[in-house]
Amino acid sequence: MRRILVANRGEVALRIIRACRELSIETVAIYSEADRTALHTTQADEAVCVGPAPAEQSYLHMQNILAAALICGADGVHPGYGFLSENALFAEMCAAHGLVFIGPSSQHLELLGDKARAKAVMEEAGVPVIPGSGVISSRTDLVETAAELGYPVLLKARSGGGGKGMRLAQDRTELLRVFDTARAEARASFQDDAVYLEKCLLGARHIEVQLLADNYGNVVHVGERECSLQHRYQKLLEECPAPQISAELRARLGAAALQGARAVNYRGAGTMEFLVDPAGNFYFVEMNPRLQVEHPVTELVYGVDLVKEQIRLAAGEPLRYSQAMLSPRGHAIECRINAEAVAPGSRPIPGVVEKLIVPGGPGVRWDSHIYQGYSVPPFYDALLGKLIAWGEDRQEALRCMERALQELVIEGVQTSLAFHRAVLRDERFRAGSYSTDFVRQWLAESEIVG
């Protein structure tokens, strides 16, 4: 590949530009009118304005993005995460115009985008899946299926992602109450109001396995990540490796992920998401056919550049790693610094970064598109940057992250820094055995909302 159009913005667009530069691949950035002075716009070799600020008219405007790719002579398109990254039609359009879509095929995106179908395929392949239903056809079906599964249950959108159209129900009354809202949200977000039910596992942990697969049948996993620290189904902190996991469970998770990837003939970089219950049973939830926000923790521990590998695989190169070559070293933690306090009812507030001091020194990595003087636009997601810390073991990584959080200064916009600092001091978090309930419980008990 010679020239890649980066169909995204923010830190992930920069991340892809960095990988391309290191591979001597030219980059074409796209930007909305709100991102004219954004770093991804200025750092790429070329930049094309593809529309006004709202994402539907710019970062989601397939025609303008493809026209920019063709006009600029790009031979590949990297969608990043979010936006068009899981859009099967976009992948197909890229292919139709002779552009390499850096991700799996549109068929994979279609299959894995239908969460219910993906589960069925995995179950058939022998991967344990989370108990749940097919698409709910009626209120009667809803109530009966929930009774069979047993409360609490999770209502989820078939085409969902990022927690949208997702609702927890403790009983029949609550379930009936949230049914319509969930469907409306799913329709608004994904143009598909089909929802299904899933058993809600109490005290479960969200653990995912990173995969890399080439076009020639070779698949490796690059360890697991702990992603249980979530607020409103949005991850706020991730770790690699998952703490408090036995070597035996780790091996079983890796094997199941490989099994699942092989079952669908997966290609490129992807992630198998599992829920792990307190007894050590695990269940497939979904497969993310793209780069994950939290990929840096894996990179630091395994010494692998996942974005460079993803591009190499998309270009048709064979995998450069065997499973035996991939061994973890130390521990890494990522904090997603958002332009938003973590508190009930909080919302991101746009503003200008009036002062920025970026942490440095050993073990610290900062993936971010902000700079002193940057104006945070109100149109996109609230991620300001990802602070990642590495240490020889979890204890050292925690200490490194604590001091990096202490060093990081962002003035002018509200941030999640106070939350992250407080969580890092929390004894239960430090013990490493927290589940997806952690933040909800913690917010209920805590006064820290800053």
Catalytic residues: 290
d(CA 350, CA 80): 23
Total length of the chain: 450
One residue of 82, 241, 254, 363 binding its own copies per CB under 8 A = 363
Residues paired with residue 375 on neighbouring β-strands, in sequence order = 352
d(CA 234, CA 163): 7
One residue of 150, 217, 360, 378 binding its own copies per CB under 8 A = 360
Q: Note whether 199 binds its own copies by CB under 8 A.
A: no
One residue of 2, 97, 329, 428 binding another protein per CB under 8 A = 97
Q: Note whether 135 binds another protein by CB under 8 A.
A: no
Q: Work out the burial of residue 128: count CB atoms within 10 Å of its CB; fewer than 13 is exposed, 13-18 middle, 19 or more buried.
A: middle
- Which of another protein, its own copies, none sits in contact with 63, Cβ below 5 to 8 A by type? another protein
Q: Note whether 364 binds its own copies by CB under 8 A.
A: yes
H-helix or E-strand containing 422? helix 417-425
Q: Note whether 67 binds another protein by CB under 8 A.
A: yes
Is residue 405 within 8 Å of 334, Cβ to Cβ?
Answer: no
One residue of 303, 318, 344, 378 binding its own copies per CB under 8 A = 303
Look up residue 239 and give its two tokens. Answer: 């770790």
d(CA 51, CA 95): 23
Closest CA to 308 of 324, 322, 323, 295: 295
**Cα dihedral sign for 168, 174, 176, 180?**
negative
Residues paired with residue 51 on neighbouring β-strands, in sequence order = 32
Q: Note whether 323 binds its own copies by CB under 8 A.
A: no
Is residue 399 within 8 Å of 391, Cβ to Cβ?
Answer: yes
d(CA 328, CA 308): 19
Shorter beta-carbon distance to another protein: residue 46 or 277: 46
Shorter beta-carbon distance to its own copies: residue 26 or 185: 26
One residue of 329, 347, 425, 428 binding its own copies per CB under 8 A = 329
One residue of 37, 63, 170, 406 binding another protein per CB under 8 A = 63
d(CA 360, CA 192): 45
One residue of 140, 361, 427, 447 binding its own copies per CB under 8 A = 361
- Which of its own copies, another protein, none sits in contact with 97, Cβ below 5 to 8 A by type? another protein
CB of 319 to another protein, least distance (A): 34
Q: Work out the burial of residue 440: count CB atoms within 10 Å of its CB; fewer than 13 is exposed, 13-18 middle, 19 or more buried.
A: middle
Shorter beta-carbon distance to another protein: residue 78 or 167: 78
Q: Note whether 70 binds another protein by CB under 8 A.
A: yes
Q: Note whether 189 binds another protein by CB under 8 A.
A: no
d(CA 36, CA 48): 10
What track of x and - describes contact with its own copies for positions 383 through 422 (by CB under 8 A)? ---------x---x--xx-xx--xx---------------
- Range list of β-strands (E), 62-182: 76-78, 100-101, 132-135, 153-157, 167-169
With CB under 8 A as the rule, give the number of residues binding its own copies: 42
Q: Note whether 427 binds its own copies by CB under 8 A.
A: no
What track of x and - describes contact with its own copies for positions 143 through 182 (by CB under 8 A)? ----------------------------------------
Query: What one-letter code names the amino acid at 20?
Result: C
d(CA 308, CA 322): 16
- Which of its own copies, another protein, none sits in contact with 43, Cβ below 5 to 8 A by type? its own copies
Q: What angle do CA 366, 40, 382 make, to 5 degrees?
A: 60
Stretch that binds its own copies, among 82-90, 129-137, 344-352, 358-366 (CB under 8 A): 358-366
Q: Interface residues with another protein (CB under 8 A)?
A: 28, 33, 45-46, 48-52, 58, 63-68, 70-72, 97
Please give the residue ranges that form the binding site for its own copies (CB under 8 A). Answer: 14-15, 18, 21-24, 39, 43, 296, 299-300, 303-305, 307, 329-330, 355-358, 360-368, 371-373, 392, 396, 399-400, 402-403, 406-407
